[in-house]
Amino acid sequence: MKVFDSGMPAEAYWNSLFDIPLITGWLNLNGISEPIVEIGCGYGTFTIPIAGKTSGKVYAFDIEPAMVECTRRNAEMAGLSNVKVLVRDVIEGGSGLESGTAGLVLLFNILHFNDRRVLLQEAYRILKPKGIVAVIHWRKDIDTPRGPIVESRPDKEMILDSLKGLDLRFGGNERILEPYHWGIQLTKLE
């Protein structure tokens, strides 16, 4: 199932809507173990700069073959050989990665659907103990030039509410990621 309202505008425009160094800096990649996984990678807006900062493997999944092709091409153009990009409906079929293996899972701009727990559960499954799931999404307290309808956008409380029964802890790492996003990080308990 493709997340509704998850189509993409032109690549350069999409990329212009983020402060990418701010967001990759917030992930604090120095302290992260690999592999890193992005679910719903789009153009690779985050997959590619993150892969450039690590020698470990980075997996990126998207349901749209055109997005996968684009991320693959962007990885090639950046000279990155540590990125594996796959077409996959992660909601229906999971990521196919082994349980307990990932250091960081990115759920960026994808959790605006009622059944968001399915992706949080998959992130939880593939994370190692102490691994991190990072969520970013469009703010709903300000006007934004893009993003899904405001009513569908999750906020922190909605994400935390979806975690019941998963040993993912919110330890206070949340921030506004100017200009238009917010983010939180959750840690898998040991």
Ligand X SMILES: C[S@@+](CC[C@H](N)C(=O)[O-])C[C@H]1O[C@@H](n2cnc3c(N)ncnc32)[C@H](O)[C@@H]1O
CA 51 to chain centroid, in Å, comes to 13
User: Which residues are within 8 A (CB) of 31 and not within 5 positions of it... i.e. 6 or more apart?
Assistant: none
Would you state the structure tokens that stand for residue 25, as one six-digit string? Answer: 């800096």
Beta strand extents in the chain (DSSP E only): 36-39, 58-62, 83-87, 102-108, 127-138, 168-177, 181-188
Q: Is 110 in the site for ligand X (CB under 6 A)?
A: yes
Q: How far apart are the first and last CA of the chain?
A: 31
Distance in Å, CB of 129 to ligand X, minimum: 25
**Number of residues located near ligand X, criterion CB under 6 A:** 22
Decide if residue 177 touches ligand X (CB under 6 A). Answer: no
- Per rule CB under 6 A, is residue 45 in the interface with ligand X? yes
Question: What is the DSSP pairing of strand 83-87 with strand 102-108?
Answer: unpaired
Stretches 42-50, 137-145, 152-160, 170-178: which one binds ligand X (CB under 6 A)?
A: 42-50
Among 23, 27, 36, 42, binds ligand X (CB under 6 A): 42
Smallest separation (angstroms) from ligand X to the CB of 32: 17
Interface with ligand X (CB under 6 A): 1-3, 6, 8, 40-42, 45-46, 61-64, 67, 88-91, 108-110
